Amino acid sequence: MKTPREPDLELRGKLIRSLGSLREMLPGSFVERKRACGRPTCHCADGKRLHSQYQISVLMDGKPKALTIPAELAEKVREKIEMRRRFDAAAATICGVNLKRFLKEKKKGGRPV
């Protein structure tokens, strides 16, 4: 027998299944900073063509840290931090669906959830 279509449950299932692809997520925020290296002959000495420096700004053991990211890893790290944002968004949506369902059940005053 086919159960009636429940869009909320379909959405929840879809989100849950998508979480596996976010397993490489990283915490914190991605920071790109511009800086001069200080060498007088470098192109950055004009103050305009500065070097990019990449960092993860993150709490470790409750303390804010800025971790330097090697330039060649910057794009990967940026994506992994973006995964965390998508993970949180999915979790919030799933919680919203579940809360709605919980309230519905509660109203019916019946079965435990």
- Binding site residues, Zn ion, CB under 5 A: 37, 42, 44
Shortest distance, position 51 Cβ to Zn ion, whole Å: 5
DSSP string, 66-97: EEEE-GGGHHHHHHHHHHHHHHHHHHHHHHHH
Shortest distance, position 32 Cβ to Zn ion, whole Å: 16
Shortest distance, position 37 Cβ to Zn ion, whole Å: 3
| Nearer Cβ to Zn ion (4/40) | 40
| Nearer Cβ to Zn ion (34/100) | 34
Shortest distance, position 47 Cβ to Zn ion, whole Å: 11
| Nearer Cβ to Zn ion (14/35) | 35
Nearest to 73 by CA among 38, 27, 30, 33: 30
Q: Report the length, in residues, of the chain.
A: 113
Contact in structure between 83 and 24 (CB atoms under 8 Å) = yes
Q: What is the DSSP letter of 24?
A: T
Contact in structure between 74 and 54 (CB atoms under 8 Å) = yes
